[in-house]
């Protein structure tokens, strides 16, 4: 009896899919691009056959792993650097150094864009991040400093340390060339109080000083992906419009995890503005505070001040998403987020293996997490609906943890081969 029911069910699903209207598929352009930066963004949407066919709901993944630095973060690195250049905070080939606190992807993107543009890169990260990210960073010529994981209120926490390193390095001596011998000191991104002027004009705009004939020495720049609004803008003006165009607005939901929050906030806000009916849904790993924030507007115990007891990065095998504080980038788009799903490590691991088996897609942990949330959401939508999600990076960045059977065994995370079939059939 059961096998007949299963057969019937799968036949009905196939019928449901067969009735979907044909979708135009846009191919990636084969134009010649201008250097490695020309390869950033404009990623295709890939239809995930296994999940879409089983659900009767189309699941499309934005193939961000195709960016030259291997992740969605290339967009952010490019925008942060170009916005800083436009503000006169960075000048290529003058020895400027980019500093960032990151679990890896953003560092790799900053190092890539940095090399292409003429900046050195210094990355501070927790020492429990997958080792292959460090290796890639070093191959890209970045300096890597690994520190013990710590709470955000600890000054040795990796983001805080990156800010400090940039500041220490960032004392810039600007020497007036031929006209006078006086020195002035301008510190990068400093508050006005920190700026010491010994000569006129009293300006903090480095570009103006350079144009006025001052000589500059190397300076540090803190990329600050968590708080820097350029992160949000990269998605609001990039990822969002691309998805709208690629789907011709024919999209019912957008699913994304959040680390800095730039992706869900920027993309979500843009899509919501143009498609007010769209559902913007957060996929959140275990231990992250964002799920409760979206569902109940509380992070955790209200008596507990922000990040005091907890690690800023969530303790899960899923890297890059899940966080225990509200960042500037997340808050910029929080109003656009309608709902949240919690995804377990076991589910994300099972999804990643399922996608290799059925689709030949070798994805990273946050992509797998997003796709579990897509399946849950699809069950609540009517047949023929369409969900877009982000495939942030590939599995190759996760070989030593998320994709290591030995690591998972040690961590007590089972690889449950049947879990996704069960989830699809439930
Ligand atoms: N996936 C991966 C692999 C990441 O590294 C990150 C960024 N930390 C994200 C997802 C989350 O993106 P965002 O920072 O835009 O929230």
pLDDT in tens, 342-364: 999 999 999 999 999 999 999 99
Q: What is the dihedral of CA 380, 381, 386, 389, to 10 degrees?
A: -20
Q: What is the pLDDT of residues 318-341, one digit of tens each?
A: 888 888 888 999 999 999 999 999
Confidence of residue 103 (pLDDT cuts 50, 70, 90): confident
Confidence of residue 307 (pLDDT cuts 50, 70, 90): very low
Rg of the chain, C-alpha, whole Å: 23
Round to whole Å and give the CA distance between 242 and 160: 34
Mean pLDDT of 290-315: 62
28 alpha carbon – ligand 1 mean position (Å): 23
Q: Which residue has the higher pLDDT, 351 or 196?
A: 351
Q: Is 260 in the pocket of ligand 1 (CB under 6 A)?
A: yes
pLDDT value of position 303? 43
pLDDT value of position 399? 92
333 alpha carbon – ligand 1 mean position (Å): 15
63 alpha carbon – ligand 1 mean position (Å): 14
Q: Which atom of ligand 1 is nearest to the CA of 367?
A: 1
Q: Which atom of ligand 1 is nearest to the CA of 397?
A: 3
**What three-state secondary structure class fits 21?**
coil
Q: Which atom of ligand 1 is nearest to the CA of 392?
A: 1
Closest C-alpha among 322, 334, 308, 313 to residue 370? 322
Q: Is 262 in the pocket of ligand 1 (CB under 6 A)?
A: yes
Residue of minimum CA distance from atom 8 in ligand 1: 320
Q: Which residues in 102-256 belong to E strands, given as ranges?
A: 120-126, 143-147, 171-176, 183-187, 214-216, 220-222, 253-256
pLDDT value of position 225? 95
**What three-state secondary structure class fits 282?**
strand
- Structure pTM? 0.83
Mean pLDDT of 251-267: 97
Mean pLDDT of 32-47: 94
Residue of minimum CA distance from atom 5 in ligand 1: 320
Tell me the pairing of strands 183-187 and 171-176: antiparallel
Confidence of residue 32 (pLDDT cuts 50, 70, 90): confident
Which of 75, 234, 320 to mutate for ligand 1's pocket (most ligand atoms within 8 Å of CB)? 320
388 alpha carbon – ligand 1 mean position (Å): 16
Q: Is 257 in the pocket of ligand 1 (CB under 6 A)?
A: yes
Which of 324, 362, 392, 398 to mutate for ligand 1's pocket (most ligand atoms within 8 Å of CB)? 392
Residue 250, pLDDT > 80, answer yes
Q: Which residue has the higher pLDDT, 37 or 30?
A: 37
Round to whole Å and give the CA distance between 346 and 326: 26
Instruction: Supply the mean pLDDT for the chain.
Output: 84
157 alpha carbon – ligand 1 mean position (Å): 18
Residue 256, pLDDT > 60, answer yes
pLDDT value of position 208? 59
Round to whole Å and give the CA distance between 365 and 370: 9
Q: Is 239 in the pocket of ligand 1 (CB under 6 A)?
A: no
Q: Is 263 in the pocket of ligand 1 (CB under 6 A)?
A: yes
Q: Is 365 in the pocket of ligand 1 (CB under 6 A)?
A: no
285 alpha carbon – ligand 1 mean position (Å): 12
> 297 φ, ψ to 5°?
55, 30
272 alpha carbon – ligand 1 mean position (Å): 20
């Amino acid at each position: 009896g059961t096998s007949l029911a299963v057969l019937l069910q799968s036949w009905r699903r196939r019928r449901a899919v067969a009735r979907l209207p044909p979708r135009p598929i846009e191919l990636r352009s084969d134009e010649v691009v201008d250097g490695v930066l020309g390869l950033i963004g404009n990623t295709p949407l890939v239809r995930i056959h296994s999940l879409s066919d089983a659900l009767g709901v189309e699941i499309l993944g934005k193939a961000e792993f195709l960016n030259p630095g291997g992740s969605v973060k290339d967009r952010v690195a490019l925008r942060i650097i170009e916005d800083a250049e436009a503000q006169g905070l960075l000048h290529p080939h003058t020895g400027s150094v980019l500093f960032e606190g990151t679990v890896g992807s953003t560092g790799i993107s900053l190092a890539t864009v940095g090399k292409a543009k003429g900046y050195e890169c210094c990355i501070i990260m927790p020492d429990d991040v997958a080792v292959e990210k460090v290796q890639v960073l070093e191959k890209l010529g970045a300096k890597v400093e690994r520190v013990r994981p710590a709470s955000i209120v600890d000054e040795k926490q990796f983001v805080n340390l990156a800010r400090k390193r940039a500041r220490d390095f960032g004392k810039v001596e600007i020497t007036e060339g031929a006209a006078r011998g006086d020195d002035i000191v301008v510190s990068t991104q400093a508050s006005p109080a920190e700026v010491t002027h010994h000569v006129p004009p009293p300006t903090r705009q480095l570009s103006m000083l350079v144009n006025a004939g001052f000589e500059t020495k190397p300076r540090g720049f803190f990329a600050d992906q968590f708080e820097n609004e350029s992160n949000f803008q990269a998605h609001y003006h990039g990822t969002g419009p691309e998805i709208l165009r690629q789907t011709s607005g024919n999209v019912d939901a957008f699913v994304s995890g959040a680390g800095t929050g730039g992706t869900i906030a920027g993309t979500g806000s843009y899509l919501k503005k143009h498609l007010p009916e769209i559902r913007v849904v957060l996929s959140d790993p275990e231990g992250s505070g964002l799920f409760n924030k979206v569902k109940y507007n509380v992070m955790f115990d209200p008596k507990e001040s922000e990040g005091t007891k907890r690690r800023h990065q969530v303790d899960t095998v899923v890297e890059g998403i899940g966080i225990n504080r509200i960042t500037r980038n997340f808050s910029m788009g929080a109003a656009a987020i309608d709902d949240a799903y919690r995804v377990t490590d076991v589910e994300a691991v099972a999804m990643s293996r399922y996608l290799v088996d059925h689709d030949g897609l070798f994805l990273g942990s946050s992509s797998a997490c997003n796709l579990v949330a897509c399946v849950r959401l699809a069950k609540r939508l009517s047949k023929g609906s369409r969900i877009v999600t982000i495939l942030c990076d590939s599995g190759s960045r996760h070989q030593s943890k998320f994709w290591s059977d030995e690591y998972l065994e040690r961590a007590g995370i089972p690889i449950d081969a049947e879990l996704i079939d069960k989830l699809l059939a439930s």
